[in-house]
Amino acid sequence: MPHRKTALRLAAPLAVLALALTACGGGDEDTGADEKGGASVASSPSPSRPASGGDMAQGESATGKVAEDPGEVTYEVLAQKVEVGTEAEAAKAVADPADAKGKVLATAHMRYTHRGGPALTEGSDAHDGTTVFADGQRGGVLIGAAEDAPGCEDPYDVESWKRGESHVFCETYVIPADAAGVEVHWSEEDGEPYVWKFPRK
């Protein structure tokens, strides 16, 4: 799976983030934390299940494999939380405020722990399987927002990622402001998604 570091950064100018308009209701294309977002060594793994997809409980982690540049890596994946913003914040974040009318930003914080396979020496593709849904409808991805969110790391800046180390990557989507619940989906390539559900507070 090729790295997209250059493409992502060209797609996200410093002043304005672009909203990739993804049709709602489309296919499922797959989406104790380190709040500082830095690398950490996981002392004890979260409860997890084998790679098969399905609904996940709060705090339950999934296990999946990702084809990284040096070879296949096994990750323990946990959707830690989803931060939902305001309509005003969404209007400021997108290039055309009209695209954000009646919408808010939902940022999923995902913790990935390297559990097996070669150490990474450059960016990771572990986050590529993450998607955010609201009330069963897929949101629109906000390109370039993840690296700006507090507590989130840029997956393409992570180097020397060894077994036992964890990193937090984030994905930001635009969802309806009146959505009752948010779901975070993550899957291996061509795999069934794991689904974490977060009710709106």
| pLDDT (tens digit per residue) in 34-54 | 433 444 334 345 565 555 789
Domain count, the chain: 1
Those residues of the chain that have pLDDT short of 50 are 1-44
176 inside domain = yes
What pLDDT, on a 0 to 100 scale, did the predictor assign at position 32?
36
What's the predicted TM-score (pTM) here?
A: 0.76
42 inside domain = no
What pLDDT, on a 0 to 100 scale, did the predictor assign at position 123?
86
What pLDDT, on a 0 to 100 scale, did the predictor assign at position 97?
85
CA distance 57 to 89: 30
What pLDDT, on a 0 to 100 scale, did the predictor assign at position 99?
83
What domain range includes position 89?
Answer: 59-199
96 inside domain = yes
Phi-psi region of 47 (alpha: psi -120 to 50; beta: other; left: phi over 0): beta
Sign of CA dihedral 186, 69, 170, 143: negative
39 inside domain = no
123 inside domain = yes
4 inside domain = no
What pLDDT, on a 0 to 100 scale, did the predictor assign at position 4?
40
For 3-34, give one letter per residue: b (16+ CB within 10 A) or e: eeeeebeeebeeeebbbeeeebeeeeebbeeb
CATH at residue 113: 2.60.40
36 inside domain = no
